[in-house]
């Protein structure tokens, strides 16, 4: 049985590039750019007024000497020209600064009467002007290949006309449940049965990472398992399984994976929850297999501590690291790395946490009360106020 640290390292080292795909700008948030985005023109593309007011030639303007208004420059108008530098043009926010002008005085500082503008203070050259190319020059790199797209980036992408863009492709994932006690969500279980739940949780978690997945259930029968997993290994990039990897008589998966030429990277990790985790890669197809234990909390926690980080690594992103200050004493007298459910709070810029006490790894209700887990090393004990690595669930 290997340690959590070794297991995590092995998983992260098996990164894979799933190629590229084209997506619409509206589907691009959270995706990772696989092209550089360049400014297709200067930004702003012209000397742009940042205020509503009058455009003037600063040198020719005198306080209390009314300026004749030659006309109006609206946003969207082609550039105009101030004919007489001692006159002015009204100008709107977003309009092109007229030729012969070098400053804009906002309406709040101007009195307009009978087609003339009287100003109360001398303008400084360049005031209220957003200079052509001052944010970005044509062909300058504005978003780099490898960057993860945020909602702030959308305006930039739109500005340079990227209605669709190339991003890193995400893996095609099959979520496989095993276990003869499971019935589909829309059925009423017999007394000895329960409804499938892990598969839906996994599908929801993958959806939050923008990953589409297909659900399948396979009964605990060797021949059927072998046939269907053989097919899935060819059809998908990743298989995520829950159940079938513990020490039970019908936990056939490890044996079947071996038969199907899946290279086992490890089975069983010195951690709790999630100890029976089985991880491997198909030798030919390079399909990744994350076979999590069947307990709901084990599956949920293992997805966060392994799959999320692996996906980040595949996309060239470093996983965000968080730490939390615990309001409880924390101890772990066992030989396993423990991941304890905690409920996090923000107090005066500090992330603090309280332990969530539950009913073991089958307990979905405790899981719902938690906002993440802390990692507690084996054989350790900590006082109130100690700081831990924190893996948030969202």
Residues 205-234 that bind its own copies (CB under 8 A): 205, 207-208, 220
Residue 2 CA to residue 4 CA, distance in Å, equals 7
Q: Which of 289, 370, 373, 376 binds its own copies (CB under 8 A)?
A: 370
Kindly state whether residue 134 participates in binding its own copies, applying the rule CB under 8 A. Answer: yes
Angstrom distances, CA of residue 274 to CA of 4, 171, 218, 246, 264: 10, 23, 21, 10, 17
Burial label, 17 (beta-carbon count in 10 A; 0-12, 13-18, 19+): exposed
Q: Which is nearer to its own copies, 90 or 312 (CB)?
A: 90
Contact positions with its own copies (CB under 8 A) in 37-66: 41, 43-46, 48, 50, 52
Task: Write out the H or E segment, with its range, that includes residue 385.
Answer: none
β-strand partners of 79: none
Min CB(95)–its own copies separation in Å: 7
Residue 84 CA to residue 67 CA, distance in Å, equals 10
Kindly state whether residue 350 participates in binding its own copies, applying the rule CB under 8 A. Answer: yes
Residue 310 CA to residue 323 CA, distance in Å, equals 20
Kindly state whether residue 69 participates in binding its own copies, applying the rule CB under 8 A. Answer: no
Q: Which is nearer to its own copies, 135 or 285 (CB)?
A: 135
Residue 61 CA to residue 211 CA, distance in Å, equals 61
Q: Which is nearer to its own copies, 19 or 189 (CB)?
A: 189
Q: Which of 14, 197, 334, 343 binds its own copies (CB under 8 A)?
A: 197
Where does this chain touch its own copies (CB under 8 A) — which range of 166-174, 223-231, 280-288, 386-394? 386-394
Would you say 32 and 146 are in contact if contact means Cβ atoms under 8 Å apart? yes
Of 292, 386, 391, 379, the C-alpha closest to 341 is 391
Where does this chain touch its own copies (CB under 8 A) — which range of 88-96, 117-125, 280-288, 328-336? 88-96
164 phi, psi to nearest 5 deg: -140, 160
Contact positions with its own copies (CB under 8 A) in 235-254: 246-251
Q: Which is nearer to its own copies, 276 or 282 (CB)?
A: 276
Q: Which of 203, 271, 287, 332 binds its own copies (CB under 8 A)?
A: 203
228's tokens: 């269907």
Q: Which of 191, 223, 318, 333 binds its own copies (CB under 8 A)?
A: 191
Min CB(119)–its own copies separation in Å: 16
For residues 268 to 307, the per-residue mask of contacts with its own copies, x marking binding by CB under 8 A and - elsewhere, is --------------------------xxx---x-------
Establish how many alpha carbons lie within 13 A of residue 284's alpha carbon, considering only the half-sphere containing its beta carbon. 8
Contact positions with its own copies (CB under 8 A) in 139-178: 142-143, 150-163
Min CB(31)–its own copies separation in Å: 12
- Using CB under 8 A as the binding criterion, the count of chain residues that bind its own copies stands at 111
Which ranges constitute the DSSP H helices of the chain?
Answer: 4-13, 151-159, 198-208, 222-235, 253-259, 296-302, 308-314, 364-369
């Amino acid at each position: 049985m290997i340690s959590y640290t070794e297991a995590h390292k092995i998983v992260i080292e098996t990164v894979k590039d799933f190629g590229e795909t084209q997506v619409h700008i509206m589907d691009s948030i959270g995706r990772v750019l696989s092209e550089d985005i360049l400014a297709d023109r200067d930004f702003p593309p012209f000397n742009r007024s940042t205020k509503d007011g009058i455009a003037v030639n600063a040198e020719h303007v005198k306080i209390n000497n009314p300026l004749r208004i030659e006309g109006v420059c609206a946003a969207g108008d082609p550039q105009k020209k101030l004919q007489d530098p001692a006159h002015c043009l009204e100008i709107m926010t977003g309009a092109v600064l007229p030729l012969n002008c070098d400053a804009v005085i906002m309406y709040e500082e101007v009195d307009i009467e009978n087609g003339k503008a009287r100003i109360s203070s001398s303008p400084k050259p360049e005031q209220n002007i957003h200079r052509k190319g001052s944010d970005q020059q044509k062909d300058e790199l504005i978003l780099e290949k490898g960057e993860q797209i945020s909602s702030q980036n959308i305006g930039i992408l739109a500005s340079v006309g990227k209605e669709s863009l190339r991003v890193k492709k995400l893996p095609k994932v099959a979520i496989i449940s095993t276990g003869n006690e499971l019935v589909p969500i829309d059925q009423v279980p017999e007394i000895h049965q329960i409804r499938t739940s892990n598969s839906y949780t996994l599908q929801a978690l993958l959806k939050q990472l923008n990953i589409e997945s297909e659900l399948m259930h396979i009964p605990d029968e060797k021949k059927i398992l072998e046939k269907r997993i053989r097919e899935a290994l060819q059809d998908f990039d990743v298989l995520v399984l829950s159940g079938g990897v513990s020490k039970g008589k019908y936990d056939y998966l490890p044996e079947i994976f071996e038969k199907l030429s899946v290279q086992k990277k490890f089975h069983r990790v010195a951690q709790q929850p999630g100890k029976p985790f089985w991880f491997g890669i198909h030798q030919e197809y390079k399909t990744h297999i994350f076979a999590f234990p069947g307990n709901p909390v084990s599956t949920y926690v293992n997805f966060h501590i392994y799959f999320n980080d692996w996906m980040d690594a595949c996309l060239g992103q470093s996983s965000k690291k968080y730490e939390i200050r615990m309001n409880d004493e924390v101890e772990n007298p066992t030989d396993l790395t423990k991941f304890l459910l905690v409920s996090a709070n923000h107090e005066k810029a500090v992330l603090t946490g309280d332990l969530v006490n539950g009913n073991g790894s089958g307990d979905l209700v405790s899981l719902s009360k938690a906002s993440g887990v802390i990692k507690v090393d084996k054989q350790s004990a900590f006082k109130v106020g100690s700081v831990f690595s924190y893996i948030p669930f969202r």
